[in-house]
Amino acid sequence: MSAVIAIATVELRRFLRDKSNIFFVFVFPLMLILLLGSQFGAGSGQARVAIAGPASELSRALTAELQSAGVAVSTTGADAARSDLSRGRTDVGVFLDNSDAEAFDAGRPTELDVVMSSQSSALTVMQQVRTAVLAAGLERSQLAALTGAGIPAERARTALDQAAGQIAVPTVEIVNTNDVAQEFRGLGRFDLGASQQLLLFVFLSSLTGAATLIQARRFGVVGRVMSAPVSSGQIVAGQALGRFAIASVQGGFIMAGTALLFGVDWGNLWLSVLVLVIFCAVSAAAAMTVGSVMDNDTAAAGVGVGGGLVLGGLGGCMVPPEFFPEALAAVSFATPHRWAYEAFAAIQRRDGTLADILPQLGVLAGMAAALLLLGTWLLRRSLNRAL
């Protein structure tokens, strides 16, 4: 075990020595998630309005009107509402203050501050907010007219409620039967892209690290290490442990960064971390397989980038597999990305439990074990031929 840890430590030192890794491993993924989320982020499928301000009759009236129209309403502070608007987690923000509430209670005209997000659905939600404001204002005007005529406020309110109950208001119910729309319902703007880019970059960074094993073989480091009581399996395990540590740190950084900067909801955090850890093991084992079968580190870097992008695209890291043709969707299950994608989807979108993602975790663990064994066998085979 000490030999495995020593080899992993050397791998980590070599990684940290290259300063360009800091950008491509930690900074670039977050930049890409921001770009993709800003341009193509998925909406939740439900209208969302944030009402910021003190509790009052005005806020309660608007909340009741909007909720009756099927709008998801959240009551929050002004700063939190602006943050949700900027991150695409709400469509429209309504900002109230004490003067607005006093004017509404007195039956005077009230000017509200309303801000739309950049979501494509924001215009539709804004119309719903206008309708809710008009309805709340009409009810307040009717109450003011009755009380102005000398009718007590309680009797006036009861009469209005009875009149509203006797009127059959026509309603329109829109049911979306599109399975894809239902699948992505409830996702924030950056939620989908964050999980996709997490899988893409963790696997991509791991594959490009296969060059270190090739260099160790070419420079005779592996041969000298094996002259000591160290087996090829220990060498592969040590190299894989180093790549696993790097991939885990990168994946954890992406998860934490997207949650803090973009408000990404990873669902059950412990289950998401478990999926990440097993996927990192698959990525590290795949890197060791490539490093054992190839002899040229430059070519291995190209294969790592190209293969990582192809497998990532096929596994749903660029276009969600829900949009794949049936045949391509079936083929995508040959990649570890698709199994990890399905696990994250179950956790983020459907509040999945450990039992729900056990099949995906089992397949990923099997892939990691198979690739690690294959890498060990290929390393032994490669040592018998000249580099």
Q: How much is the pLDDT for 367?
A: 93
Give the pLDDT mean for 119-133. Answer: 77
Mean pLDDT: which of 161-175, 206-220, 246-260 is highest?
246-260
On the question of pLDDT at 313 being above 80, the answer is yes
Q: Which of 271, 247, 265 is nearest to 199 (CA)?
A: 247
Q: How much is the pLDDT for 44?
A: 47
Rounded CA-CA distance 107/98 in Å is: 14
Q: How much is the pLDDT for 108?
A: 74
pLDDT interval class at 316 (50, 70, 90): confident
Q: Which two tokens stand for residue 121?
A: 């659905």
Residue corresponding to tokens 């934490």: 256
In terms of residues, how long is the chain?
387
The ranges assigned to domains in the chain are 2-41+188-382, 48-173
Q: How much is the pLDDT for 168?
A: 54
On the question of pLDDT at 42 being above 50, the answer is no
Give the pLDDT mean for 365-379. Answer: 85
Q: Which two tokens stand for residue 216?
A: 């160790």
Give the pLDDT mean for 256-280. Answer: 89
pLDDT digits (tens, 9 = 90+) for 238-254: 777 877 888 888 888 89
Residue 179: is it exposed, middle or buried by C-beta count within 10 angstroms (0-12/13-18/19+)? exposed
Q: Which residues of 69-104 are buried (b: 16+ CB within 10 A; e: fewer)?
A: bebbbbebeeebbbbbbebbbbbbbbbbeeebbeeb
Q: How much is the pLDDT for 339?
A: 94
Give one DSSP letter per residue of 49-108, joined into a string.
Answer: EEEES---HHHHHHHHHHHHTT-EEEEE-HHHHHHHHHTTS-SEEEE--HHHHHHHHHT-
Q: How much is the pLDDT for 21?
A: 65
3-state secondary structure 94-123: EECCHHHHHHHHHCCCCCCEEEECCCCCHH
What is the enclosing helix (H) or strand (E) of 308?
A: helix 297-314
Whole-angstrom CA distances from 275 to 17, 80, 134, 308, 344 are 29, 30, 49, 19, 7
The strand pairing partners of 49, in sequence order, are: 73, 92
Residue corresponding to tokens 């990649």: 335
Q: Which of 26-30, 177-181, 222-226 has the lowest mean pLDDT?
A: 177-181
Rounded CA-CA distance 51/64 in Å is: 12
Mean pLDDT: which of 73-82, 169-178, 196-205 is highest?
196-205
**Predicted structure pTM score:** 0.66
Q: In what order do the strands lie in the sheet with 113-116?
A: 72-76, 48-52, 92-95, 113-116
- Average pLDDT of the chain? 77
Q: How much is the pLDDT for 38?
A: 61
Q: Which of 27-36, 175-184, 250-259, 302-311 has the lowest mean pLDDT?
A: 175-184
Q: How much is the pLDDT for 337?
A: 92
In three-state secondary structure terms, 342 is helix
pLDDT interval class at 272 (50, 70, 90): very high
pLDDT interval class at 386 (50, 70, 90): very low
Q: Which of 152-161, 201-210, 292-301, 366-375 has the lowest mean pLDDT?
A: 152-161
Q: Is 2 or 367 the better-scoring residue by pLDDT?
A: 367
Give the pLDDT mean for 131-139. Answer: 73
Residue 64: is it exposed, middle or buried by C-beta count within 10 angstroms (0-12/13-18/19+)? middle
CATH fold of the domain at 48-173:
abc type-2 transporter like fold (3.40.1710)
At position 7, the amino acid (one-letter code) is: I
Give the pLDDT mean for 149-153. Answer: 65
On the question of pLDDT at 161 being above 90, the answer is no
Rounded CA-CA distance 33/335 in Å is: 22
At position 371, the amino acid (one-letter code) is: L
Q: Which of 65-69, 90-94, 243-247 has the lowest mean pLDDT?
A: 65-69
- Say if CB 312 and CB 306 are below 8 A apart: no
